[in-house]
Every structure is written in C-alpha cells, then in structure tokens.
Amino acid sequence: MPELPEVETIARTLKPDLVGRTILSADLRWMRTLAIPSPAQFKKQIIGQEILDVSRRAKYLVVRLKTYNLLIHLRMSGDLVVRAGKIKPEKHDRLVLHLSDHNYLAFNDTRKFGRVWLTDQPEKILGKLGPEPFG
C-alpha cells in the first residue's frame, strides 16, 4: 500500500503534467473503481472539466476540477500515471482520462481495491479524517 510520503510524491509528480489540461473523455474500464456517482453520471460530469490543482489529503489524491473534485484512493496496489499519445490502455488500467494535450491519465490498479469519487462536496468524504502529520 502506498504510504503517505509516496502519495505526496505522486501528487507532486502529477501536478505539472495535469494542471491546465482539460478532460476530453473518460474510459471507465472497471465499474467498481468508481464509488460515486454512477458511471453514466461520471462520464457526463467529468468531460470538459479543467484540472486546476493536484494535491493530497491523507492518502487521498485530490484533483481539483473547475466544478468538481476527483478523489482517488490508491489502496493496496493503485498507481496514477500520465502516458503520452494514443497508446493502448494496459491490462490493469481501471480508469483512463483523455486530456487536451493528447496525453492521458491512467489509474492502474492490479488488485482492484482502489476507489475514485467525483464530487462537488469533498468534505463528505474527507471531512472525518484526522489532522495532517506535517503542514
């Protein structure tokens, strides 16, 4: 399981590649990856969203979009990676977001434990977490 420092490193690594990009389409390849909303609603809401920031709260990756927040918990084996061009998704890619710069963000999760939330109320998911160990 990625620990807090690894999640922080992932957020910092992804931020320059994602901020300012727009999500053009979404390919949900494993339906249970998505906690909320429904797959149809997810695709409808995420398309056209500009990525404003990438950060971390506890072990959640927080991708702040123009209207929503994309929360991602990697759980045991999850990873997020930006890939260039129109490469065929890999075997364990559970969610692929196609971006405006012809790259895509892939949520790769071998064990299928990771979860994704798209919400305009992130405090409902993150609100009961304890304080951050460093600030």
In order, the DSSP letters of 16-64 are HHHTT-BEEEEEESSGGGEEES-HHHHHHHHTTPBEEEEEEETTEEEEE
What does residue 95 show for φ and ψ, rounded to 5 degrees?
A: -145, 130
Q: Which of 107, 81, 98 is nearest to 26 (CA)?
A: 98
Q: Catalytic one among 3, 5, 131, 133?
A: 3
CB 9 within 8 A of CB 15: no
- 26 strand-pairing partners: 97
Active site residue 3: yes
Task: Report the catalytic residues.
Answer: 2-3
